[in-house]
Chain A
Amino acid sequence: MVDMRLPPEELVTGDRSRLALALQSDFAYQFRRAPVAVVSFAVTLVLVLGALFAPLIAPFDPFDPASLNLMNGFSRPMTPNAFTGDSFWLGTDDQGRDVFSTILYGMRISLFVGASAVLFAMVLGITLGLLAGYVGGWTETIIMRVADVQLTFPSILVAMLIFGIAKGITPVEYRDQMAIWVLIIAIGLSDWVQFARVVRGATLVEKNKEYVAAARLIGRSGPAIMVRHILPNVLSPVLVIATISLALAIIAEATLSFLGVGAPATKPSLGTLIRIGQDFMFSGEWWILFFPAATLLALALSVNLLGDWLRDALNPRLR
């Protein structure tokens, strides 16, 4: 296929708007032809929008004690409560909190922690990966050895360790507020290695290309070349990893919260909700566990599938 020339963009697009251009692109075309990608994107979008606009959508504010009625506790889904006659879509928990609303608010925390952790890991990983790849020598050796060592510990273990240390040094009264941030740092720190590895690999390829030589030639400094020239060219694999990491980070957050070292019960994430819910699993109140768990599954699965598709779509060798 050496001889084939790809269709020229200008012939296809003319001078239409940027949006039209994007919709015409090969990327958009591939996306439309992949049903799995379309469905997972739709599910992700619905869940993210639900979390984002939780205060507008949720019928109740689960964190407002004034709106809670203990009499509503343990309402079954779609069934009027025996005492108050109130009906809840997905039922209520032991304290009478609407499960649907707690899921929406819980997802907010899950997504916030997941996204922030990935962002943190991404910034750290990209910086260290670029440095290791571009500078080389001892810088590279040290960064990559640290990464290797980090990889030998399971990430949950690393997260728990950091969580434990943070818990030890924060005063009790701040612990609940700190918990979220500690979670983000803990998950982010256990996740930067793969970003660093991928960025370093891509940087090693890019830095030997002649456009980098051209930039060095005119006296551009190392940081300028790394940020302005190399960084934009190593971002596509980063995007793929970031998407898959987001799914993993949400699960990690849920795991930590489930184990009781994560989000506090006053600010429950999906993981916390599942932990609370499992107490009632065998007493017949299945919905308190089931709906948060199903939401977590749907969220993680669709984000992960989206990442998988993105990896295939951005990898020219698979096309």
Chain B
Amino acid sequence: MKQTHIMTTPILSIRNLTVDIPTRHGVLRPVNGVSYDVAAGEILGVVGESGAGKSMAGNAVIGLLNPPAHIASGEILLNGQRIDTLPRDEMRRLRGKQIGVVFQDPLTSLNPLLRIGDQLTETMLAHLDISPSEARKRAIAALEEVGIPGAAQRVDSYPHEFSGGMRQRVVIALALCAEPSLIIADEPTTALDVSVQAQIIALLKRLCRERGTAVMLITHDMGVIAEAADRVAVMYAGQLAEIGPVREVLAAPIHPYTDGLMGSTPLASRGKDRLHQIPGAMPRLDALPPGCAFHPRCPYTQDDCRADPGPRIEDGAGRAACFHPISRTEVA
């Protein structure tokens, strides 16, 4: 299978990102030396279980880390420009203009006291050089684009007058209205029903394709990743475990963690009495084992896995952070 390689500079580029949280018991490192790129028109899925650091990495990109959490090292580049060193004010402007954000709970992104039309036009007027009447027209167009029936009437409704799925559409319209080059969607469908989730995923894919927006889709749901993402980054205990095209990583994982994760989904075990299970649990951030963080749960652990430093994905190349990846030559 051939991947068309995108030669232009990626929209978002994260290099060796490390996030630290100093606590009185020592420094916790929820994101540890993570690197990945998102290209224009591409959806990068970031998966991991709770505590893997996937949301924390997303928050670092949009500059919304809660103190005392902070970026300890590494670089975040948006369209080739460093954004992790920007002052707060500039970062806030950038967040509305260049980066759109969709969170799990649509109510956190919408002001309950303002009509949604006003929230959309306000964002557009702040970032785009257009007249208020033009902004209103565009607001209605944006609502139509995300599939809200009767957009011209509903533009003057308040957030509470929409259902959960419709609210998430409004949030997507809001994230898109300033025409950002990057969208960060953090568990955008987790709170929604299956049928509504399918609608939202289809919407995200269409917008990404039509507008060439880069999307970072953070979720714990492997099925959503499989259907929506072009490439996938699997995180474990703050580190990147495996990254690559979604077909390769999900269908033929070479990191034992990805393999275990895929195997433990009920779909993968159809017809079996028991589900495949990974023993143990993800280590807490203050009790990471030496070497590879996955070695205590890994069926293929050898001596070198226990020694520091653990395996890393080399910058820009490589697929899995593993000394003994699963050989797929006979499978493929």
Contact = CB atoms under 8 A, between A and B. Distances in A.
Q: Do chains A and B touch in the complex (CB under 8 A)?
A: yes
Interface of A: 1-5, 7-8, 11-12, 29
A7 B25 contact: yes
A318 to B, nearest CB: 13
A1 B55 CA distance: 8
B286 A7 contact: yes
Nearest to A33: B24
Interface stretch (B46-54, B207-215, B301-309): B46-54
B21 interface: yes
Nearest to A8: B284
B69 interface: yes
B28 interface: yes
B284 A3 contact: no
Contact of A3 (B25, B52, B286, B287): B52
A1 B69 contact: yes
Q: Which 6 A-B pairs have CB atoms at the shortest separation, nearest pair first?
A: A7-B25, A5-B284, A1-B66, A7-B286, A3-B56, A3-B55
Contact of B54 (A1, A3, A8, A11): A3
Select the residue from A3, A7, A11, A12 with max chain B CB neighbours within 10 A: A3
Nearest to A1: B66
Contact of B21 (A2, A4, A8, A29): A4
Contact of B51 (A3, A11, A12): A3
B4 interface: no
A interface SS class:
loop
Interface string B35-78: 00000000000000011111110000000001001000000000
Given A4-B51, A5-B51, 11 more contacts: A3-B51, A3-B53, A3-B54, A5-B284, A5-B285, A5-B286, A7-B23, A7-B25, A7-B286, A8-B284, A8-B286
Contact of A8 (B30, B52, B66, B287): B287
B218 to A, nearest CB: 10
B30 A11 contact: no
B30 A3 contact: yes
Nearest to A2: B55
Interface in B144-191: none
A12 B287 CA distance: 11
Interface of B: 21, 23-25, 28, 30, 50-56, 66, 69, 284-287
B286 A4 contact: no
A11 B28 CA distance: 14
Contacts of B53: 3
B103 to A, nearest CB: 10
14 contacts: A1-B66, A1-B69, A3-B30, A3-B52, A3-B53, A3-B55, A4-B30, A4-B51, A5-B51, A7-B23, A7-B25, A7-B286, A8-B284, A8-B286
A19 to B, nearest CB: 19
A11 B23 CA distance: 14
Contacts of A4: 21, 28, 30, 51, 56, 69, 285
B25 A12 contact: yes
A11 B286 CA distance: 9
Contacts of B56: 3-4
Contacts of A5: 51, 284-286
B143 to A, nearest CB: 29
A284 to B, nearest CB: 55
B309 to A, nearest CB: 23
A1 to B, nearest CB: 5
Contacts of A2: 50, 55
A19 B128 CA distance: 61
Contacts of B286: 5, 7-8, 11
A128 B307 CA distance: 62
A11 B66 contact: no
Contacts of A8: 284, 286-287
Nearest to B26: A7
Select the residue from A2, A8, A29 with max chain B CB neighbours within 10 A: A2
Contacts of B30: 3-4
Contacts of B51: 3-5
A39 to B, nearest CB: 22
Nearest to A26: B24
B285 A11 contact: no
Nearest to B25: A7
A155 to B, nearest CB: 36
A11 B25 CA distance: 10
A1 B54 CA distance: 11
Given A2-B50, A5-B51, A29 B69 contact: no
B62 to A, nearest CB: 14
Nearest to B48: A3
Select the residue from A4, A7, A8, A29 with max chain B CB neighbours within 10 A: A4
Contacts of B52: 3
Contact of B287 (A1, A11, A29): A11
Contacts of B50: 2-3
A1 B284 CA distance: 14
A245 B24 CA distance: 33
A29 B23 CA distance: 12
B66 A29 contact: no
Contacts of B66: 1
A7 B24 CA distance: 10
A2 B65 CA distance: 11
A29 B52 CA distance: 28
